[in-house]
Chain A
Amino acid sequence: MRQGPLGEQPHPHKGRTKDGLAGGELVARVLDATWADPPGLWGWFCAINHKAIGRRFLVTCLVFFALGGLLAATMRMQLSRPGNTLVGPDLYNQIFTMHGSTMMFLFAVPVMQALAIYLVPLMLGARATAFPRMTAYSYWIFLFGGLMLYAAFLVNSAPDAGWFSYVPLAGPAYGAGKRNDIWAQMITFTEVSALLDAVIIICTVFKMRAPGMTLNRIPLYVWAMLVVAFMIMFAMPAVALASAMLIMDRLVATHFFNPGEGGDVLLWQHLFWFFGHPEVYLIFIPGLGFMSAMIPTFARRPMFGYTAMVLSIIATGFLSFGLWVHHMFATNVPELGKTFFTAASMLIAIPTAVQIYCWIATLWTGRLNFKVPLYYVLSFFVILVIGGLTGLMLASVSLDSQVHDSYFVVAHLHYVLLGGAVFPLFGALYYWYPKFVGRLMSERLGRWSFWLMFVGFNVAFFPMHLLGMNGMPRRVYTYPAEMGWGTMNLVATIGAVTLALGIFLTLVNALRSARHGVLAGPDPWGAGTLEWATASPPRPSNFLATPIVYGRDPLWQGIPEGQPDHVSGLAADVREVLCTTVADAQADSRMMYPASTPMPFLAALATTIFFVGSIFTPWAVVWGAVLVAVPLVWWFWPTQGEAQEELALEKLDASLAAEKP
């Protein structure tokens, strides 16, 4: 307890109640009250607890997934027979662009980050994410960006140049109206959100692990999300920059992509795919993380080859930045360069294969517990291997040039993305649902859902390989009967309907089980990682006492004789957290967390006005910046109460304390 520099007084009583198991239920209630967000509608806007934000973020992403799915269903209906007139060409352009943009920017990457926001602190034994208010801000920004895109769709102004928005089609010369400005600005929203979440996840993993969770004891899922966060930091800036250049070309007459004035259209493709290829791995690596979390649980043994797994994830992260030109084989990049990118594209199969063999070894030597999540895990092996093999085919320049922009590519990318990410994600939803809700989902409905999804998916997408070989280009709104593509398209549509039905069953299952599911208890699957050490759903502070970790699967390993098993001495009546050292996770310092506040919401609102305004007038950049600065300064400015609580808990380092009595 210390006085402040300007004579500020420490709080008279806050900070005296300490946590730890000795305090019993009384201290537990104090912790609940301290860490809970305020109640009511107003409280809903003030929420900063990572579980509240994570849940909301997850639901938002799943809603966008459903919307993107409905758009896909509309396309499948249109293509189900030749010469169909359900959807016209202009609307079709908007629909496929919206489908791709939604799935890539509003679902696939953010849903992984949303789950990480919820799960990573729990798996690390932490009470919160690093920077909780920024976590809330990045959620709101994401939500508003998505809403803007769909609002534009409703008024016939959705982007229509494809999810990779190539210039010159999306540039000022051909992309009339506001459609592609909306696309570019949607990118700004989602990238701000993704980049902030990446920093949050890195800081959480580095500094907030439970004592004893050294680098080589971090759960593999958390490793995966850590690598993803680093990749986001270096991939997303490229697309943010490219979309900023695009919108400037369109709105203030710059010439980045205008060959007439020294610009270059391939600059767009380089910048976009420098992001776009790592993007695939941003979606795929979390899927690998889900696999690594679920396989040991359902094989009932620790993961085989932990170190090889970690190194493979890191290697995949690095290599994914060396592949982007394989999306540009049909352009005039130098042939020698293409050869390099072919080699790199094949090289990345190695770390993926290492992981697949480690999983197989784990499953092979384990005692399998056949529950719904394991079905989804096993389907990954089938679907992803097919997607990976067609990927190896596409890595070859000659083959790629043949099937470029055909349905073969559509089939390949859906096999990779659904097999690599969506099927593991659904497994993960079944796996962690009891942690979120406190009840298990129905196994019977789950198996129905799985089989419908698995069969539907293959029926929908396998024929597309053949359609591509037969020359059907992607992004056509219809085709004449004499091309002979009608039957396979009809089959694909039937598959898509089956897939949608399977997904719908999972939704029904989730809604029904929230009320009628079997009560889960803390650890329904008998898993080994820390999120299962706490109640389901976890109480506001996650852990009544921070656990201490002595191995990779703490719940399976127990505590060595005579060693402490929990942390005590953090304030219970103030939001105080423990920071540990980066490599060895030794208890290092304490840190006070901010109160729940609407400032992230208001700042996100101001940012939205800024971003949307700048589509209509460049001056919005000036007044918008002022508008954003106000809530940000307010956000930063400490209150008397915060300073008092801080001082009540303040302790200096030994060296400083010696000179500062």
Chain B
Amino acid sequence: MNEAVVRGRALDVAELPTVVFSHRSLMWWGTLGLMAIEGFVFALVIASYFYLRSHQETWPLTALPPDLLWGTINTGVMLASFLPAHLAKRAGERMDLPGVRLWLVASVLFGIAFTVIRGFEFATLNVRWDSNAYGSVVWLLLGLHTTHIVTDLLDTIVLTVLFFTGPLDGKRYVDVSENSFYWYFVVGTWLPIYFVIYWGARVV
């Protein structure tokens, strides 16, 4: 079953599977490509942060460091969201419709939670983007990550709605798996960004 078979001079591929996950799926490679690009953008902004910092006597220039409270809470919430994302991925790869629906909805709730908390993070950065170069780079870093959170949340909402309304077919479960894969990326990149924004302004 589901292998290519030789028939005369032809290699018959009609029995090959159409629903494949992970590195067998073209979508996985596409997602990985975009993650590489976006991850590299984050890395470059972090490099710019330290480049600017290395040229200053005092850091964070004339501003106060950002308050730790909301950023740290949000880091906890994001880490916790690994769980629903992971369970949605597993359910997707088993083509388990009720499981997918449940964990997609849970992921959306987490996404909403950390988008709201992100608002408080901006409010307690203690610097404006136009105050000085430190403020500019911190706003850029947090802003870039926020666009990722928001787009990932919107993607997840669209996918969740689709799983309640249809039309569905097996390939949509691959989308669930890829969506969680991207979620891992968004949460995973937050950790270095968290340390740079909140501790880069504190640790000498």
Taking a contact as CB atoms under 8 Å apart, the answer to whether B154 and A651 are in contact is: no
Closest to A211 in B: B11
Taking a contact as CB atoms under 8 Å apart, the answer to whether A589 and B16 are in contact is: yes
A248 at the interface (CB under 8 A from B): yes
Chain A residues with CB below 8 A from B41, complex form: 237, 240-241
Rounded to whole Å, the gap between the CB of A210 and the closest CB of chain B is 10
Taking a contact as CB atoms under 8 Å apart, the answer to whether A267 and B132 are in contact is: no
A262 at the interface (CB under 8 A from B): yes
CA distance A21 to B7 in the complex (A): 12
Taking a contact as CB atoms under 8 Å apart, the answer to whether A264 and B1 are in contact is: no
Chain B residues with CB below 8 A from A2, complex form: 170
Rounded to whole Å, the gap between the CB of A655 and the closest CB of chain B is 10
Taking a contact as CB atoms under 8 Å apart, the answer to whether A237 and B44 are in contact is: yes
Chain B residues with CB below 8 A from A203, complex form: 26, 29-30, 33
- Number of contact residues on B: which range applies? 35 or more
A-B contact count (CB 8 A): 236
Pick the most buried of B20, B37, B166, B167: most chain A CB atoms within 10 A of its CB: B167
Chain A residues with CB below 8 A from B61, complex form: 261-262
Which of chain B's residues 4-20 have a Cβ closer than 8 Å to chain A?
4, 6-20
CA distance A4 to B18 in the complex (A): 14
CA distance A586 to B55 in the complex (A): 53
Taking a contact as CB atoms under 8 Å apart, the answer to whether B20 and A589 are in contact is: yes
CA distance A640 to B55 in the complex (A): 59
Taking a contact as CB atoms under 8 Å apart, the answer to whether A643 and B168 are in contact is: yes
CA distance A252 to B135 in the complex (A): 12
Given A589-B16, A589-B20, CB of A21 within 8 Å of CB of B26: no
* Per-residue B-contact encoding for A628-649, CB less than 8 Å = 1, 0 else: 0100010011111011101101
Q: CB < 8 Å: which of A258, A565, A589 contacts B17?
A: A589
Pick the most buried of B6, B12, B30, B136: most chain A CB atoms within 10 A of its CB: B136
CA distance A203 to B32 in the complex (A): 10
Taking a contact as CB atoms under 8 Å apart, the answer to whether A5 and B168 are in contact is: yes
Taking a contact as CB atoms under 8 Å apart, the answer to whether A567 and B37 are in contact is: no
Chain B residues with CB below 8 A from A234, complex form: 36, 40
Rounded to whole Å, the gap between the CB of A116 and the closest CB of chain B is 15
Taking a contact as CB atoms under 8 Å apart, the answer to whether B10 and A564 are in contact is: yes
Interface-lining segment among A194-202, A403-411, A483-491, A550-558: A194-202
Chain A residues with CB below 8 A from B117, complex form: none
Q: CB < 8 Å: which of A202, A236, A264 contacts B133?
A: A264
Rounded to whole Å, the gap between the CB of B161 and the closest CB of chain A is 9
Which of chain B's residues 30-65 have a Cβ closer than 8 Å to chain A?
30, 33-34, 36-37, 40-41, 44-45, 48, 51-52, 55-56, 61
Given A588-B24, A591-B26, A651-B17, CB of A4 within 8 Å of CB of B52: no
A154 at the interface (CB under 8 A from B): no
Taking a contact as CB atoms under 8 Å apart, the answer to whether A657 and B1 are in contact is: yes
CA distance A215 to B37 in the complex (A): 24
A374 at the interface (CB under 8 A from B): no
Taking a contact as CB atoms under 8 Å apart, the answer to whether B19 and A652 are in contact is: yes
Q: CB < 8 Å: which of A21, A198, A644, A651 contacts B2?
A: A651
Q: CB < 8 Å: which of B10, B13, B30, B132 contacts A590?
A: B13
A256 at the interface (CB under 8 A from B): yes
CA distance A652 to B17 in the complex (A): 5
* Per-residue B-contact encoding for A78-115, CB less than 8 Å = 1, 0 else: 00000000000000000000000000000000000000
Chain B residues with CB below 8 A from A238, complex form: 44
Pick the most buried of A131, A568, A629, A659: most chain B CB atoms within 10 A of its CB: A568
Chain A residues with CB below 8 A from B136, complex form: 245, 248-249, 254-256, 263
Chain B residues with CB below 8 A from A653, complex form: 2, 17, 19-20
Given A130-B30, A587-B13, A590-B18, CB of A256 within 8 Å of CB of B137: yes
Chain A residues with CB below 8 A from B167, complex form: 4, 6, 8, 638-640, 642-644
A253 at the interface (CB under 8 A from B): yes
CA distance A40 to B29 in the complex (A): 34
Pick the most buried of B2, B170, B172: most chain A CB atoms within 10 A of its CB: B170
Chain B residues with CB below 8 A from A18, complex form: 14
Which of chain A's residues 188-230 have a Cβ closer than 8 Å to chain B?
195, 198-199, 202-203, 206-208, 211
Chain A residues with CB below 8 A from B18, complex form: 589-592, 646, 649-651
B187 at the interface (CB under 8 A from A): no
Q: CB < 8 Å: which of A568, A581, A586, A654 contacts B7?
A: A568
Chain A residues with CB below 8 A from B137, complex form: 256
Rounded to whole Å, the gap between the CB of A292 and the closest CB of chain B is 25
Chain A residues with CB below 8 A from B158, complex form: 633, 636-637
Rounded to whole Å, the gap between the CB of B154 and the closest CB of chain A is 7
Given A238-B44, A245-B140, A271-B48, CB of A199 within 8 Å of CB of B132: no
Which of chain B's residues 152-169 have a Cβ closer than 8 Å to chain A?
154, 158, 162, 166-169
CA distance A2 to B171 in the complex (A): 12
Taking a contact as CB atoms under 8 Å apart, the answer to whether B133 and A255 are in contact is: yes
Q: CB < 8 Å: which of B1, B45, B171 contacts A654?
A: B1
CA distance A97 to B112 in the complex (A): 45
Pick the most buried of A4, A566, A569, A654: most chain B CB atoms within 10 A of its CB: A569
Taking a contact as CB atoms under 8 Å apart, the answer to whether B9 and A588 are in contact is: no
Taking a contact as CB atoms under 8 Å apart, the answer to whether A651 and B15 are in contact is: yes
Given A589-B17, A590-B16, A654-B2, CB of A579 within 8 Å of CB of B24: yes
Rounded to whole Å, the gap between the CB of B91 and the closest CB of chain A is 12
A548 at the interface (CB under 8 A from B): yes
B120 at the interface (CB under 8 A from A): no
Closest to B158 in A: A633
Rounded to whole Å, the gap between the CB of A445 and the closest CB of chain B is 42
* Per-residue B-contact encoding for A117-129, CB less than 8 Å = 1, 0 else: 0000000000000
A440 at the interface (CB under 8 A from B): no
Chain B residues with CB below 8 A from A647, complex form: 169-170
Q: CB < 8 Å: which of A8, A195, A581 contacts B166?
A: A8
Q: CB < 8 Å: which of B12, B48, B56, B139 contacts A262?
A: B56
* Per-residue A-contact encoding for B124-158, CB less than 8 Å = 1, 0 else: 00000111111111011000000000000010001
B73 at the interface (CB under 8 A from A): no
Chain A residues with CB below 8 A from B6, complex form: 564
Taking a contact as CB atoms under 8 Å apart, the answer to whether B48 and A548 are in contact is: no
A280 at the interface (CB under 8 A from B): no
B95 at the interface (CB under 8 A from A): yes
Chain B residues with CB below 8 A from A567, complex form: 4, 10-13
Q: CB < 8 Å: which of A248, A253, A587 contacts B11?
A: A587
Closest to B40 in A: A237
CA distance A195 to B44 in the complex (A): 16
Given A207-B26, A207-B29, A566-B10, CB of A271 within 8 Å of CB of B44: yes
A578 at the interface (CB under 8 A from B): yes
Taking a contact as CB atoms under 8 Å apart, the answer to whether B17 and A254 are in contact is: no
A13 at the interface (CB under 8 A from B): no
Chain B residues with CB below 8 A from A237, complex form: 37, 40-41, 44
Taking a contact as CB atoms under 8 Å apart, the answer to whether A202 and B33 are in contact is: yes
CA distance A121 to B129 in the complex (A): 46
Interchain Cβ contacts under 8 Å between A and B, 7 examples: A256-B133, A564-B10, A588-B24, A650-B18, A654-B1, A654-B2, A657-B2
10 shortest interchain CB distances as A-B pairs: A569-B14, A199-B33, A254-B136, A262-B133, A643-B167, A263-B133, A568-B10, A253-B130, A646-B169, A587-B4
16 further A-B pairs in the complex, CB-CB below 8 A; given A4-B168, A5-B97, A568-B11: A4-B166, A4-B167, A21-B10, A199-B30, A202-B29, A202-B33, A203-B33, A211-B11, A253-B129, A262-B61, A264-B133, A578-B16, A590-B17, A643-B168, A646-B18, A650-B18
A residues engaging B (CB < 8 A)? 2, 4-6, 8, 18, 20-22, 130-131, 195, 198-199, 202-203, 206-208, 211, 233-234, 236-238, 240-241, 244-245, 248-249, 252-256, 258, 261-264, 267, 270-271, 274, 545, 548, 564-570, 578-579, 581-582, 586-592, 629, 633, 636-640, 642-644, 646-647, 649-654, 656-657, 659-660
